[in-house]
Structure 1
């Protein structure tokens, strides 16, 4: 029973660290895109919207995450955007009518 508890705790610890790393990659991409487009990232944060398993290009199962965030284009409004990650790699960033698709890097 102790081994099962240790495995569960180890798995949860790994998930927490992995999620922290992925979130940092997502927020960095969002900040870079908002800065390049002259947008203001509101609350300076992103929130997890979706978490699931998905296969990457190599056929390996990785965590696919979608984070949502709010930004402003005028300073007087709030708009919603999202950033999609496959593992720790940003695959798509949605800012209003503009989609930034990625093959490993943002355009």
Structure 2
């Protein structure tokens, strides 16, 4: 019986992690969209992809998920340039466009 509860708990935790990840992805898309609009560039594909997931402490020393998202943008439509959005919990830490070299 305890094995069933453990499996149920693991399934619930996996479901929560997936659901929370979807919410954070939406935050990252919104941050990328605002950044691109302010910079006068086009957010390509209207999406982001998660590149990194780690545990980090916030300013109050509480453990939060740190996520790094990547996206692509274009200035003229001919090139695909990278951008990044960084989240700690539900807080957007930074979002920036990476200029081509």
Same fold by TM (over 0.5)? Answer: yes
TM-score of Structure 1 vs Structure 2, range by shorter chain: over 0.9
Q: Flag the structure with more relative contact order, 1 or 2, with Cα contacts below 8 A and sequence separation at least 6.
A: 2
Hey, what's the Cα distance between the residues in 2 that align with 1:58 and 1:16? Answer: 25
Map Cα deviations across residues 46-66 of structure 1 (whole Å, 9 max, x no partner): 000000000011110000000
TM-score (norm 1): 0.87
Question: Which 5+ residue runs of structure 1 have no aligned equivalent?
Answer: 98-107
TM-score (norm 2): 0.92
| Aligned residues between the structures | 97
Question: Which 5+ residue runs of structure 2 have no aligned equivalent?
Answer: none
Runs of 4+ in 1 over 3 A off after TM superposition: none
Larger Rg: 2
Map Cα deviations across residues 11-50 of structure 1 (whole Å, 9 max, x no partner): 0011011111111111101101101111101111000000
C-alpha contact (below 8 Å) 2:83/2:98 kept by paired residues: yes
Alignment RMSD: 0.8
Which residue of structure 2 aligns with residue 7 of structure 1? 9
